[in-house]
Chain A
Amino acid sequence: MRLNLKIWRQAGPNAAGRLVDYVADSVSTDMSFLEMLDVVNEDLTKKGEESIAFDSDCREGICGTCSLVINGIPHGPDRGTTVCQLHMRRFKDGETVTIEPWRARAFPVLKDLIVDRSAFDRIIAAGGYVSVNCGGAQDGNAIPISKDIADAAMDSAQCIGCGACVAACKNASAHLFMSAKISQLALLPQGQVERQRRVLSMIEQADAEGFGSCSNEGECEAVCPKEIPISNIALMTREYVKAVLAAK
């Protein structure tokens, strides 16, 4: 299989970037998308050219490091998958594939396809944790949580913080990411103590980072590799209202 690639190359954060054409020859349909890029990079290295910088780590869809917009869709054409889980059999021989980085003011490009997602870390640091000391691990059954609640919290907790929601949103909004974290902790007993503080400071931090607001289009839900729904955003709004009303 042979593919025509158009890949965003950008030397550094302040450099101007552009799409550069590459040809990927002898691509096997069994390769993953990232393996295909590895092969392209090996060829570049052999030719003495600089390889294409892109992010990846686990390559099994659990770490959220890989982050490519493929033909206009973050994480590519398959629903509920990350780029590293995408296979080349999804593409046709001779197809042109455009590869770009996440684009958002809050996710500046560092090099080529790699962006700086530390804004997400700062949102989490603003309140996406439980800091109440509760001593040693208790017996799991000591805190009863109904199955429904546990499932809902688990669904929200699936967020891997990849940032595809921001990349897909026309407003580059971080609401889905934030709301997944807020929902997860608001649903569980351990998250109650800091519940109100958390929602207020996380939203404040996201706004300060330069993410946009939300227009309820749900493009984020459609690209989320963990298929986290925007009902989380509605829950975050309710949490916000409660926190505001209860604020001292």
Chain B
Amino acid sequence: MSSRIRVFATSVGTKLLIGITGLALFLFLITHIAGNALILLGPTAFNHYSHALTSNPLIPVIEIGLGLIFLVHIYKAVTMYLGNQQARPVAYQVKKGQGGPSRKSFSSTTMIFSGLWLVLFVVLHVKGFKYGPYYASEEEGVRDIYRVVFDIFRSPLQVGFYIVSMLVVGSHLWHGASSTFQSLGLDHPRWTPRILALGKVLATVIAGGFIVIIVYVHLFAGQVGQ
């Protein structure tokens, strides 16, 4: 046992890896929403932020890293889910939630489905924005990503898809954000209840925050030139 590679192959190692990558993705999402909030300050601030990001030579490296983190998280979660399905070949005729101190919720029982939805979402999202139409802004070499955002969210269909996807993000984080800490073995009688509560608050704030931005853009899209 315990050649260093096999460390992450055990059931506990799998949790560690899903936890670490999940935490990284969660932190990424926080920086993402902070950046998106700049859209409320108008085109100059938002385009400059986007330009500063895309012109940074480190960004391609970080993107590859982020992509790998996504892949590891997805691969480990899917294989764990399939393994777990095999661990109970005959289902209960009657099964109830156990109540009491259990952390089970709609969110925790649908992690695999919310996760798979988000895989699809991320692909479409990156395709629509990063690889979406290029509009030049008034400034030389700066992409008018602000206009892309307003273009996309003019469509009620896109708004609907994005709002549903943000609710799915919220659901995934409702269990996932605090669960990463338990997966990493971080537990404390005083702090764990706070982490559990904070996870739910942040899930709500992040999903709600993205939805506010989407609705804001949709409502004001008419005022921004075609």
Q: Which residues of B contact A221 (CB under 8 A)?
A: 100-102
Q: Which residues of A contact B87 (CB under 8 A)?
A: 104-106, 171-173, 210-212
Q: Which residues of B contact A223 (CB under 8 A)?
A: 98
In contact, B104 and A218 (Cβ under 8 angstroms)? yes
- How far is it, in angstroms, between the C-alpha of A197 and the C-alpha of B10 when the chains are bound? 15
In contact, A69 and B179 (Cβ under 8 angstroms)? no
Q: Shortest CB–CB separation between residue B128 and chain A, in angstroms?
A: 32
Q: Which residues of A contact B91 (CB under 8 A)?
A: 103
Q: A219-B98, A235-B187 are in contact. Are A213 and B86 (CB under 8 A)?
A: no
| Chain B positions 1 through 35: 1 when the CB is less than 8 Å from some CB of chain A, otherwise 0 | 11010010011111110000000000000000000
Q: Taking beta carbons and an 8 Å cutoff, which residues of A are in contact with B?
A: 6, 8, 17, 19, 69, 71-74, 79, 98, 100, 103-106, 109, 168, 170-173, 175, 200-201, 203-204, 206-207, 210-219, 221-223, 229-231, 233-238, 240-241, 243-244, 247
In contact, B100 and A222 (Cβ under 8 angstroms)? yes
Q: Shortest CB–CB separation between residue A131 and chain B, in angstroms?
A: 18
| Secondary structure call for the B interface | loop
Instruction: Give the residue of B95, B99, B192 whose beta carbon is less than 8 angstroms from that of A222.
Output: B99
In contact, B12 and A203 (Cβ under 8 angstroms)? yes
B167 contacts the other chain (CB 8 A)? no
- How far is it, in angstroms, between the C-alpha of A204 and the C-alpha of B7 when the chains are bound? 10
In contact, B98 and A244 (Cβ under 8 angstroms)? no
Q: Which residues of A contact B187 (CB under 8 A)?
A: 230-231, 234-235
Q: Which residues of A contact B1 (CB under 8 A)?
A: 200-201, 204
Q: Which residues of A contact B158 (CB under 8 A)?
A: none
- How far is it, in angstroms, between the C-alpha of A98 and the C-alpha of B93 when the chains are bound? 8
28 pairs across A/B with beta carbons < 8 Å?
Answer: A6-B93, A8-B93, A71-B94, A71-B96, A72-B92, A100-B93, A103-B88, A170-B84, A171-B88, A172-B84, A172-B87, A173-B87, A175-B11, A206-B11, A207-B10, A210-B86, A212-B11, A213-B84, A214-B15, A215-B84, A216-B108, A216-B179, A218-B104, A221-B100, A221-B102, A234-B187, A241-B16, A244-B2
Q: Which residues of B contact A175 (CB under 8 A)?
A: 11-12
| Secondary structure call for the A interface | mixed
Q: Known contacts A170-B88, A222-B102, A231-B189; can you find 11 more A-B pairs with CB under 8 A?
A: A105-B86, A171-B88, A204-B10, A212-B86, A213-B11, A216-B103, A217-B103, A223-B98, A236-B185, A238-B185, A240-B12
Q: Which residues of A contact B89 (CB under 8 A)?
A: 105
Q: Which residues of B contact A222 (CB under 8 A)?
A: 98-102
- How far is it, in angstroms, between the C-alpha of A236 and the C-alpha of B185 when the chains are bound? 7
Q: Which residues of B contact A69 (CB under 8 A)?
A: 92, 94
Q: Shortest CB–CB separation between residue B57 and chain A, in angstroms?
A: 34
- How far is it, in angstroms, between the C-alpha of A100 and the C-alpha of B95 when the chains are bound? 10
Q: Shortest CB–CB separation between residue B110 and chain A, in angstroms?
A: 11
Q: Nearest 9 CB-CB pairs, A to B?
A: A237-B185, A234-B187, A212-B87, A72-B96, A222-B98, A171-B84, A172-B87, A213-B11, A212-B84
B109 contacts the other chain (CB 8 A)? yes
In contact, A173 and B11 (Cβ under 8 angstroms)? yes
